[in-house]
Amino acid sequence: MIARHIRLIAFATIPSMLRSGTGVVYSILTVTIGLTFANIVFKAFSTMGLRDLLERADIALRFSLAAISLKGTFGDLVAQEKQGQMVQMQEWVSYLLRERPALLTVVLLLQMVLVPLFVATGAFNQLAGDLQHGAVRYQLLRTTRASLFLGRFAGTALFTAMLMVGLTAAVVLFMGFQIDIYGWGELIAWGARGLVALLLISLPYVAFCAWISASVGSPFTSLVLTSLVIPAHPFLALGAYNAWEPLGKLIYLMPWGIQHWLFHPDPRYAAAAAAGCLAYTALFLALGLASFRRRDL
C-alpha cells in the first residue's frame, strides 16, 4: 500500500510542478544554462583547436581534481606541479581527455558542477508550499507522512532525471552530427556513463532539498537555504582546509567531496562513489522524514 501511494504521488508531482511554474523555471534554467556551457566548450574548440583546448583543460582538471580530493593546499599543489609529483591526477586526466571523447568529457564535468546548482533552484518546493498553506493536513487524510514525503522526492528526482536525459542526449547528438572527430559508439558509451553519473549526483541534492523543504515550511526560505548552502559548501570547506588541514573533512558533509570519483578510470572507485551518493541520499531522506514526522501541522 505504501509503495502504491509513493508511486501515485510521484507521478502526480511532475504535472503539479509544471502547473505551479516551478518545473517550468527548473526546465528552462537547466536546459538553457547546460546548453550554454556546452556551446562555450564547442566555440572554444572551433576557435583554439582541439590541441590547445586539451592543454588548457589538462591543467585545469589536474588542479581541480587534486584540490577537491584534498591532495594539498593551493600552494602545495603549485609546488607539486612544478616538481612533477601529480602523477595520480595526470593518469586520471589522461584517461578523461585522451582515452575518452575529450570534448564530451569537458561538457560532462561542467554539468557535474552545475547539476547541484540546478537542483537547488528547482527542487526546493517539494513540501514547503503545502506546509505554508496548510494543504498537507488534507493530503494526509488519504495517505501517510512517509508516503507523501517519499512520493514528492521520487517525483522531483524523476523530473530531474528527465531533464538530465534530455540535456545529455542533446549534447551527444550535436557532437555526433556537427563535430566529426568521434565515432557514434564512443560518444554514446561515454555519454551513457556520464548520464548515470549525473543521475547519481542529482539524487542526494534532491534529497537534501526535500529535507529543507519539509523542515522550514516556506518556499522562499527553502529556496534561499538550498541556493546558498549547496553552492557555498565546497568553497567554505576548501577555504577552511587551506586555513587548517583537518577542516578539509567538512567537504564530506555533502557529496561534493566524492561525486567526481564517478568519472574515475578504476571501476572500484566509481562504484564506491556511486554507493556514497546513494548513502548521502538515504541519510538526507532519513533526516527529512524524521523532521516531517515531528512537524505540528
pLDDT in tens, 207-228: 999 999 999 989 999 999 999 9
- For the segment 132-161, the average pLDDT, to the nearest whole number, is 90
How many angstroms separate the Cα of 133 from the Cα of each of 136, 146, 293?
8, 19, 18
Q: Could you read off the pLDDT of 161-212 as tens digits, one per residue? A: 999 999 999 999 999 988 878 899 999 999 999 999 999 999 999 999 999 9
Gyration radius from the chain CA atoms: 20
The mean pLDDT value of the chain amounts to 90
Grid coordinates given for 28: 528552462
Distance CA 76, CA 260 (A): 21
Q: How many domains does the chain have?
A: 1
- First-to-last CA distance in the chain? 23
Q: Could you read off the pLDDT of 86-123 as tens digits, one per residue? A: 666 888 999 999 999 999 999 999 999 999 999 999 99
Query: What's the confidence (pLDDT) of residue 84?
Result: 66
Grid coordinates given for 208: 537534501
DSSP string, 82-130: HHT--HHHHHHHHIIIIIS-HHHHHHHHHHHHHHHHHHHHHSTTSSHHH
Range of the domain at 162: 2-294
Q: Which among 192, 193, 174, 195 has a CA at the least distance from the CA of 45?
A: 174
Query: Which are the contacts of 185, defined by CB distance < 8 A and separation ≥ 6?
Result: none
